[in-house]
Every structure is written in C-alpha cells, then in structure tokens.
Amino acid sequence: MASIFSSLITMILLLLLLGGEARDPFACDPKDATTKNLPFCRATLSIGERVKDLIGRLTLEEKISLLVNNAAAVPRLRMKGYEWWSEALHGVSNVGPGTKFGGPFPGATSFPQVITTAASFNASLWEAIGRVVSNEARAMYNGGMGGLTYWSPNVNIFRDPRWGRGQETPGEDPILAGRYAASYVRGLQGSDGNRLKVAASCKHFTAYDLDKWNGVDRFHFNAQVSKQDIEDTFNVPFRMCVKEGNVASVMCSYNQVNGVPTCADPKLLKSTVRGQWGLQGYIVSDCDSVGVFYAYQHYTSTPEEAAADAIKAGLDLDCGPFLAVHTQNAIKKGLLNEGEVNNALVNTLTVQMRLGMFDGEPSAQPYGHLGPRDVCTQAHQDLAHEAAKQGIVLLKNNGPSLPLSLRRHHTVAVIGPNSDVTVTMIGNYAGIACAYTSPLQGIGRYAKTIHEVGCTNVACKDDKQFVGALDAARQADATVLVMGLDQSIEAETMDRVGLLLPGYQQQLVSKVAAASKGPTILVLMSGGPVDITFAKNDPRIKGILWAGYPGQAGGAAIADILFGTANPGGKLPITWYPQEYLQNLPMTNMAMRSSVSKGYPGRTYRFYNGPVVYPFGYGLSYTHFIHSLASAPKVLSVPVAGHHHGNSSNISNKAIRVTHARCSKLSISLQVYVKNIGSKDGTHTLLVFSTPPSGNGHWAPHKQLVAFEKVHVPAKARQRVQINIHVCKLLSVVDKLGTRRIPLGEHSLHIGDIKHSLSLQALTLGITES
C-alpha cells in the first residue's frame, strides 16, 4: 500500500512539474501487457536487435507509412503516430508542425539569428545555446507540445550577399560554419553516449544558396559546381557536422547539383554522407523535394521511379507525402524491393530509439523531469541577452564617440523603421519569444528618449515623416538611427536585388546626421551585408553598429553596447561588398574562384580580392588589443608513406595528398600573448588565417581562417592563448580534381598584424606498393 501511495504522489508531482498532462509513452507502455515484453521494447537489448525485431513485425503497408514526416501510428503494436518536422534554428520554433505553443508553453527563448551569433566567433557560446534550446525542446515534448527531431542548423555557405536565407547560416567561411555546426549540434544532442537529448539535422546538403533570383528558383535550379568547390567549400560544414558533431541527420536540398537532384544522388547520400563521413543517423528530404524533382525538374518519367531513385540513393525519410503514396507501386513494378525500405527504417527507428521513444514512460527517462518551469527561465533569457551582446559588431567609432555618456547624453533621439521593432529582431525560423526588449525600450533604460520612426517600415517609400525625425535630432543630446532590413526584404523564397539600404533610408540617415545636435550613431539590423559606404565616409555619422537580427533581448544588448555597459567584440562573419560587386554577377554562377579572363570577381574573402565596404573578420572594440607570439614552430615535417606505381609520386607539384600523409596527430601549437593596452576590460576575438605557399595556381584561396579563440582580457592585462592547428584539415588545399593536398614550403600564418612563417617539409617513411 505504501509503495502504491508513493507512486501516486510521484505521479502527482510530475503532473504539477510538467504543468498539466504528462505525455503518454510513444510506444512500449509498461502498462500494456501486449507489447511491454516484446524484444523491441526491452531496453536491455542492443538498439540494433530491437530495431531488427520491430521491422520484422511490421507489414509492408506499415513500413511505407513510416517513410514520411507525419509517420502513421501502428495501433496493433501500440506505436503512436509521430511528426518528425520540428525546427530549432535559434530557439524552439513553431515553423514545423511538430511543435506548437500554448497553455503552459506560451513561448520559448528566442536567441539571435544565427548570422549574429556566428559573429561572436565563440564556440562555447554556440554549444551553450544548443543546450538551452534542447532543454526547452525536451520540456515541450514532455508536455505534449513538441517533437524530438529538429531540422536545424542551416550550415550552407553564405556565398552570395543577396541570398535571402543567408541570415540563417554562420556566414561565408566553411571552417567557421563547420565549427558552428559541430558546436550547436553537440549542445542540442547532449553528451550522454549513444542517447540523444534531441536529434539535430544539418541542412541543406549541398550547394544550396539560391531561393528566388531573376526568374530562377530553388525548385528548378541546377547548381553547376566544380569538384574543387564542392570539396573545399560547400561540403566542408556538412563533413564537420557529421564527423565532429556526430549529428543524427542530414537534410538534402531542393536543387540539383550537376544535373542530379541531391535527394536522388547516391554519390552524395550513400557514398559521401553515409560512406565516407560515417553518418550514424537518417537522411531526410527538404519538404516535398522528392515531389519537386519529379514534378518540377522532370528528373524521372513516373512518380514510382522518383520514389525508387530517392530510397536507392539513400534517402530514409520524406518530408512530404510522396513516398507514402508511391513507394508500394514502385515495389510492385520491381523498381525497388522491401529490403531497401527496411534499410531506410533502420536509420529512422534507430534514432527514435536513441531518443528513448521506445523506453516507456517519458517521465522516467533522463530528461523526463523537464517541464514548463524549464522554459524561458531567467538564466535562458540572460543567455539570449549575452549572445546578442557578443554578436553585435562595432564598424565605426570616430572620435571615439562611443560609448555614449550617461552624464552628457541625457536625451537620445531614437529614429528609424527598426527603432521599436520586436518580431523583426528574431529573424526567420523563429518561435514565439518569451518577451522582447526593443531598441527604443533598451535605450530608454539609460536615457530619456524622443522617438520618431522617420519611415513607416523598412521599404521607406517616401520622406513624409522626415520632418519629425529631423526635429527630434535637433533637440536631443545624441541620435541613434536604427535602420536596415527585415523579412520583407530578405527571406526564404526571396533573394535581394541589391545591397543598398531600401527606399529613402539613406536620405533619412544623411539628413538626420546633418541636423543632429549631438553625435549620430547608425545601428543596422540585417542578415546580409549592406553597402553603407555613404555612412562610413560621412564624418557626421560618428559610429556604426551591425546588430544582425539580435533576438528577443536585442534592444537591451544594443543599448548596453551604445552606453558602454558591454564592450563590443563581434567580428563580421561575411564580407560587406559594395553595390558595384554585383555588376554582371549572376547568383546562378556557383564558381568560388575568380577569373580575370572572364571578368569574374570570385566569392567570399577567400577568393575575392576587390574593394570591400568592410572585410570578413572586421570589428572594433572600445579598447585596444595587441598580439605577440610566445612560441610557434618554424618547421614541421609531414610524414608521408613512400609510394611507387609507374611514374606517379605522392609528392607531386610540391604538395602531398592528404590521404597519403600520416594525419592523426599532425598538428601545430601556437602560443599567443594578447595584451589589452586600453582602459576598458574587453573580450577579444583572436582570428588566425593561413596563406599557402605561392605557386599553387588555382588550388589555393588567398587566405583561409584556420583557428579562432575568444579571450577575455582585463584592462592593462595580458593573457596567453594556445592555438592548435590540424595540418591535414586546415593547412591543406584542394586541386582542380577535388583532391585535398598539403602544399610543401612556406605557409604564412596571420594573427592580427603578426605574420609568422611555417615551413612544411615532407618526411618519407618508406616505400610501399600502391
């Protein structure tokens, strides 16, 4: 009797904790005598044994019903239906049907958009955000309001500055994007061995970075990509996501790559993602991708061929109804067999079991205690605020005029279409935020404000409201203009047409700056870069901040930077190009490398050498840091196995194939002193770039980010930072055939204004047959 009473008390407490009804088991309910002792429900067996047993009990019709995102229930085995599609790009989102807000879960912590968080260059922050998001996701799952499979992060390369979805990505550098992917995924998925807290998915594989431009859309686009660019740019973040982040899923994209839809390409899915990289998880299509390559791209003649091609290529789950409708007929026609369907289910069911969905009561599992009180906690909201402060980039500070003074700047004119926004700050793929602090509200905590929008919205189609803005600027001790873009200008399905501020925004900024009694500060919200050359060169505009889309606490963070409570340390994760860069530059040209003969400028800081508004990695501080090398090797031997086969050699063109080098422990260590010679404490972003030896022709980028570290340095203090650089991964380049090689000779490492030469030399270990 006592034990029954104790169990009852425990259940009541759990119900109170979860804020209502606790979720019933997805499967394997311990109260259900018909299934609880079946092998697939026995947690003492290996997951492989359990999955095999479950698949053996399913009929073909049941199997096919599990191939889609809204997987059907299997009542006779007491398995509930499951919605696979949930999103958590920068917080739990209700974009996918698997998660909804309401009742005890009115919202979730909304962190800055990814492009902003990437500007922090802080891998530990990215992982911490992932941990918070997965806590809130598990809490919502336990409360029956969310799923456990989240199709995030987006780790595509921000190749073209016009891309509407560039805001979702960590920027233009493949190593930065890959580090972000691995860090955020680790935070989401947890560190409990094979068990998953939630299952993440890196998307959209691959060479996907065009939505709708000049009559070309993502559903019809065939990305023509060289082997060289695939290997050294587009695939790098995905490889790192799988190999270093151990992600549980990869999503294939809408577009074709070199004539083959990514979701029907066995070279990409089976050979690369699952074969070379060793994905332990499932491959999912972007939503309706299989239907798209049949109906829009006309890649196959019949829907059954499309279903068969996708599954044979390695697709395990279809976001959309296509496989549920056409797979059975594909089997009847002999295009596919049941064993290939089983292979797909092994991958999806294994992930569900790693999530604990077949382990009975959710409340009895490791994350079963999480509930409404674990969502929107003060600590979570404080992290969103901290992330915004770390991601904001100071682009200009003449005088210096920033930070503003509480003593001198009693009244601040707050002007602009983004000056009092809330939802704009959370960008796209967002949920419902816990609460908002707009820029106007944030600045209002420090000073008296005079508010004028100047333009009704970011389109800024006329100057009818300029008069009030000019009057406010004339009255105030300082003026802050909050301008830029929003989802009406850059978004999924909508790429930008140019890089200038929309409509009359530039005129508003210039006129207000001319009228302002005190210093004028320009704050920009945007995902992509904006050509603000006019503001950079205008002496009346004393300071410029880029805030990206800074999340629910964005206004508070902007104000903290403006008034010096926080010291900016963000760096641009993208190149800011002038408008002229776009002349004769179609978004559809996927080539990364420049071509003088074709008048093609190249893309990103790695391959473009022309004029910029602000370069990749740029960002100022309220203090000043200097670097010095404490220790760094000048020579490193690269062990390489001897090889002969006819006249070929492993050491050709003064470069070693990475596959022939002994790579496992081949790294260099730098010790760098960072000294803060200013008067304010600050956090410094230490970026290390490498330039390979000259003479590598079209193999090599101009320079490549190889390491970054975040270090807090008090005023007048010095910190020692260790930087480790894996030679094969980071000092290698890719030749025209897509082969990764380590160039021998003098590599230049750039750390701030320090340049260090490192000579790589081959050390032949012996002769072996190929």
Over the stretch 652-674, which tens digit does the pLDDT of each residue have?
558 999 999 999 889 999 999 99
Compute the average pLDDT of residues 572-576: 98
> Residue 309: pLDDT above 80?
yes
Per-residue pLDDT band at 23 (split at 50, 70, 90): confident
- Grade residue 768 by pLDDT with cuts at 50, 70 and 90: very low
pLDDT in tens, 63-98: 999 999 999 999 999 999 999 999 999 999 999 999
Given this model, what pLDDT does residue 697 score?
59
Which single residue is written with the structure tokens 């839809």?
A: 261
User: Which range among 7-11, 294-298, 330-334, 623-627 shows the weakest confidence by mean pLDDT?
Assistant: 7-11
CB atoms within 10 A of CB 644: 12
Residue 19's pLDDT is what? 46
Given pLDDT bands bounded at 50, 70 and 90, which one contains residue 362? confident
Please count the CA atoms within 13 angstroms of the CA of 497 that sit on its side-chain side.
Answer: 6
The pLDDT tens digits of the residues spanning 742-760 come to 999 999 999 998 999 999 9
Nearest to 99 by CA among 202, 198, 241, 14: 198
Q: What is the DSSP letter of 276?
A: I
Mean pLDDT across 358-383: 95
Candidates 656, 733, 667, 729; CA nearest to 698 is 733
Q: How far apart are the two ends of the chain, measured CA to CA in Å?
A: 74
- Calculate mean pLDDT across residues 96-108: 98
Report the C-alpha gap between 9 and 84 in whole angstroms: 33
Q: Over range 130-149, report the average pLDDT.
A: 98
Sequence length of the chain is 770
Query: Measuring CA to CA, how many Å separate 461 from each of 354, 503, 613, 629?
Result: 53, 5, 25, 53
Does the pLDDT value for residue 10 go beyond 50?
no
Query: What percent of the chain clears pLDDT 90, i.e. is strictly above it?
Result: 92
Q: Using CA atoms in the order 461, 464, 468, 473, what is the torsion angle rounded to 10 degrees?
A: 50
- What integer best gives the mean pLDDT of the chain? 94
- 573 has pLDDT over 60: yes
pLDDT band at 213 (very low <50, low <70, confident <90, very high): very high
pLDDT confidence of residue 363: 84
pLDDT tens digit string along 274-295? 999 999 999 999 999 999 999 9
- What is the distance, to the nearest Å, from the Cα of residue 547 to the centroid of all Cα atoms in its chain? 17
In this predicted structure, which of 5-14, 169-178, 247-256, 686-695 has the lowest mean pLDDT?
5-14
Q: In 3D, which of 176, 242, 180 has the Cα closest to residue 206?
A: 242
Which residues is 216 bridged to in the sheet?
213
Contact indicator for 132, 188 with CB cutoff of 8 Å: no
Q: Which of 154-163, 166-175, 428-437, 693-702 has the lowest mean pLDDT?
A: 693-702
Extract the tokens encoding 358.
């077949």
d(CA 758, CA 631) in angstroms, rounded, equals: 12
Confirm if 531 and 490 have CB atoms less than 8 A apart: no
pLDDT grade for 708, boundaries at 50, 70 and 90: very high
pLDDT at 57 > cutoff 50: yes
- pLDDT, one tens digit per residue, over 523-540 is 999 999 999 999 999 999
> pLDDT tier at 700 (50, 70, 90 boundaries)?
confident
Helices 322-332 and 303-313, interaxial angle, to 10°? 100
Catalytic residues: 286
What tokens appear for 276 in the block? 């070379």
The confidence band for 698, taking pLDDT boundaries of 50, 70 and 90, is low
CA 211 – CA 619 distance, rounded (Å): 29
- Averaged pLDDT, 454-459: 98
Per residue in 475-491, pLDDT (tens digit) is 999 999 999 999 999 99
